[in-house]
């Protein structure tokens, strides 16, 4: 009986050791796989970083100012060698001459969105040679002090005939423009930016 008990115990021990060895092999294998995934992940991240670095573009503008808060200035845009008069809005106590910063912000959204929209109108073969938008923005008190733009709305002007004939395609181009417009993505980080169709 004692021998049988020892044999039985040895058998149970052997099974236990075998299970433990299998568990160790699994654990070792898992560690190996994890290590491989980690290394590959670092390599992929490095490659993506290199690609992203290659696609970085630098844009600069300059501005000059004359006077105090009620003064005026000039915005210098290198592309096209343009000079744009700027000044604070009269509603906010500014000189009221030239483009004010709030208009420039909405203008940047409009310029980027209509450019992006035109790209997708062409890609989806929609016949709209002269797309147009207007962008409105709401300015209100900022709890942290001063004022802030609370939201912006892009009004996409679409001919009634085009909307009636290809509404789904028109809406798809607008959705894609909203998704890929660089400036509206930046604006959305600070406030809601929506797109509505304005039939003309």
CA separation for the pair 8, 145 (Å, rounded) = 81
**What was the pLDDT predicted at 54?**
78
Residue 127 sits in the same domain as residue 185: yes
Q: Could you give the angle at which helices 160-180 and 101-123 cross, rounded to 10 degrees?
A: 110
Find the domain containing 166 and state its range. Answer: 100-199
Q: What is the pLDDT of residues 22-41, one digit of tens each?
A: 545 544 444 443 333 344 45
**What was the pLDDT predicted at 51?**
56
Residue 117 sits in the same domain as residue 169: yes
**What was the pLDDT predicted at 34?**
37
Residue 35 sits in the same domain as residue 109: no
Looking up tokens 């310029």 gives: 111
CA separation for the pair 137, 114 (Å, rounded) = 17
CA separation for the pair 45, 60 (Å, rounded) = 29
CA separation for the pair 183, 154 (Å, rounded) = 12
Helix and strand numbers (H, E) in the chain are 4, 6
Q: Do 88 and 73 meet the contact criterion of CB atoms below 8 Å apart?
A: no
Spans of the chain below 50 pLDDT: 1-19, 23, 26-40, 43-44
Residue 51 sits in the same domain as residue 75: no
Residue 194 sits in the same domain as residue 109: yes
Residue 107 sits in the same domain as residue 154: yes
Residue 172 sits in the same domain as residue 189: yes
CA separation for the pair 71, 100 (Å, rounded) = 12
**What was the pLDDT predicted at 45?**
59
Q: Would you call 31 helix, strand, or coil by DSSP?
A: helix
**What was the pLDDT predicted at 78?**
93
Query: Considering 56, 76, 91, which residue would you say is the last residue of a domain?
Result: 56
Residue 87 sits in the same domain as residue 125: no
Residue 130 sits in the same domain as residue 180: yes
**What was the pLDDT predicted at 55?**
86
SS3 per residue for 3-25:
HHHHHHHHHHHHHHHHHHHHHHH
CATH of the domain at 123: 3.30.300.20
pTM confidence score: 0.72
Structural domains counted in the chain: 3
The residues facing 75 across adjacent strands are 63, 84
Residue 116 sits in the same domain as residue 171: yes
Residue 2 sits in the same domain as residue 38: yes
Residue 84 sits in the same domain as residue 143: no
């Amino acid at each position: 009986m004692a021998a049988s008990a020892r044999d039985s115990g040895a058998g149970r021990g052997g099974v236990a050791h075998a299970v433990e060895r299998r568990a160790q092999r699994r654990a070792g294998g898992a560690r190996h796989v994890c290590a491989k995934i980690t290394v590959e992940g670092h390599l992929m991240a490095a490659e993506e970083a290199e690609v992203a670095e290659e696609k970085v573009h630098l844009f600069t503008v300059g501005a000059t100012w004359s006077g105090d808060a009620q003064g005026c200035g000039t915005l210098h845009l290198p592309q096209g060698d343009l000079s744009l008069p700027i000044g604070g809005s009269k509603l906010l106590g500014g000189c009221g001459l030239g483009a004010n910063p709030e208009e420039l912000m909405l203008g940047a959204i409009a310029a980027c969105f209509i450019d992006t929209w035109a790209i997708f109108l062409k890609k989806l073969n929609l016949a709209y040679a002269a797309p147009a938008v207007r962008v409105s923005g709401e300015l209100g008190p900022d709890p942290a002090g001063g004022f802030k733009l609370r939201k912006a709305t892009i009004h996409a002007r679409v001919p009634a005939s085009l909307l009636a004939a290809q509404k789904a395609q028109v809406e798809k181009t607008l959705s894609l423009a909203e998704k890929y417009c660089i400036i509206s993505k930046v604006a959305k980080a600070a406030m809601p930016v929506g797109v509505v169709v304005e039939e003309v």
